[in-house]
A = this chain, B = another copy of it.
Amino acid sequence: MIDFYMDLALKEAWKYQFLTYPNPAVGCVILDKNGKILSIKAHEKQGEPHAELNAIKEALRILKPEFDFPKEANALHEFILKHHQNLLQNATAFVSLEPCTHQGKTPPCAKLFSTLGFKKVFISVKDENKIASGGAEFLRQKGVLVETGILEKKGKELLKPFLKWQKGTFKLFKLALSLNGSALGKFVSNETSRTYAHQIRSVIDLLVVGGETLRKDKPILDSRLCNAKAPNLCILSRQSLESFDKNIPAFSVKNRQIFTQIPKDAKFLMYEGGAEFLRTFKEQMDMFLIFHNAKFNEGENVKLDLELKPLFRGNYEEDSYGIYELL
């Protein structure tokens, strides 16, 4: 069952893939001393609690519903250290990435596990980041049993976007299709799918679109479905920016920077477009986020040769989506 629980942690993390930028996506499952599942949680967003802290909070909430946890990560950490009452003594954790040992924006998670008396911590991937690593060693020194390398291949796949944007640029292509492969513009997907796309837009450094998308769809390309900051825009077009209709909503977004070349300091870029745009840029992409709705239609499909390797597949009600890399 070790693989089963680690898989739960990995899948929970994938649900927040990209949204944790610039942090890695991480998932954590906690079992009580008897092996009963208490919580399945992930890191959801930069500045918010790490996966381990989220899972510990939820586990304590299950065991003692009257706990009134503070929201902010540091305060939550302190609260738990103070009030845990050894409720998680001899518990087991499954974490997709080695718990950190350093004081970053939030306190170290490895120390939390040892202070709370966890008996065993299973880890998928060791952290290669020199500042944050050493969690496994720290836990072992504190007498916690540690096993690393659980579903390591899957754990490494989860980390791929993080490792790319940490060292340079990570490029994601987003495409929304009908079940029979036609690109229908912005309203092919349901609201939940589009909310996920808007959440990604709200964290990226740059949204890259082609001139044709702008002229044809006249989109706003913001993050309104999650009430968040609209992304800066890079418009790749043979024509000059001046030639575009100034009434296209994307130009009216407040505080939006608009580029016609990709600025060097952009580390997480999302490309959105149709068949032509995908054909032009497919070889440069690190990953592909492809939504499918549950409808066939009479439209032409997106035609190109592209062999992909699925890394994760999820569902948003009737829509499904896959996160792929080039095969």
Q: What is the total number of copies of this protein in its complex?
A: 2
Q: Are A296 and B300 in contact (CB under 8 A)?
A: no
Q: Does A249 contact B (CB under 8 A)?
A: no
Which of A141-149, A174-182, A202-210 interfaces with chain B? A174-182
A-B pairs, top 9 by smallest CB distance, nearest first, are A181-B181, A35-B36, A301-B301, A180-B181, A34-B34, A296-B306, A294-B308, A181-B301, A180-B301
Which one of B37, B297, B302, B324 contacts A180 once the chains associate, using CB atoms below 8 Å?
A: B302
| Residues from chain B with Cβ under 8 Å of A294 in the complex | 307-310, 322, 324, 327
Which of A66-74, A75-83, A127-135, A313-321 interfaces with chain B? A313-321
Q: A36-B35, A294-B324, A303-B180 are in contact. Are A318 and B309 (CB under 8 A)?
A: yes
Q: Compute how far the CA of A31 lies from the CA of B34 in the bound complex, rounded to whole angstroms.
A: 11
For A38, the closest partner residue in chain B by CB is B1
Shortest Cβ gap from A5 to chain B (Å): 9
| Residues from chain B with Cβ under 8 Å of A308 in the complex | 179, 294-296, 318
Q: Compute how far the CA of A305 lies from the CA of B295 in the bound complex, rounded to whole angstroms.
A: 7
Q: Are B300 and A301 in contact (CB under 8 A)?
A: yes
Q: A34-B35, A296-B302, A298-B305 are in contact. Are A179 and B290 (CB under 8 A)?
A: yes
Which A residues are within 8 Å of any B CB, using their own CB?
1, 4, 31-32, 34-37, 177-182, 290, 292, 294-310, 313, 315, 318, 320, 322, 324, 327
For A37, the closest partner residue in chain B by CB is B1
Shortest Cβ gap from A178 to chain B (Å): 7
Q: A1-B37, A37-B37 are in contact. Are A303 and B313 (CB under 8 A)?
A: no
Shortest Cβ gap from A154 to chain B (Å): 13
For A315, the closest partner residue in chain B by CB is B313
For A294, the closest partner residue in chain B by CB is B308
| Residues from chain B with Cβ under 8 Å of A177 in the complex | 180-181
Which one of B4, B297, B305 contacts A303 once the chains associate, using CB atoms below 8 Å?
A: B297
| Residues from chain B with Cβ under 8 Å of A37 in the complex | 1, 4, 35, 37
Q: Compute how far the CA of A35 lies from the CA of B31 in the bound complex, rounded to whole angstroms.
A: 10
Which one of B295, B298, B313 contacts A307 once the chains associate, using CB atoms below 8 Å?
A: B295
For A327, the closest partner residue in chain B by CB is B294
Q: Are B181 and A182 in contact (CB under 8 A)?
A: yes
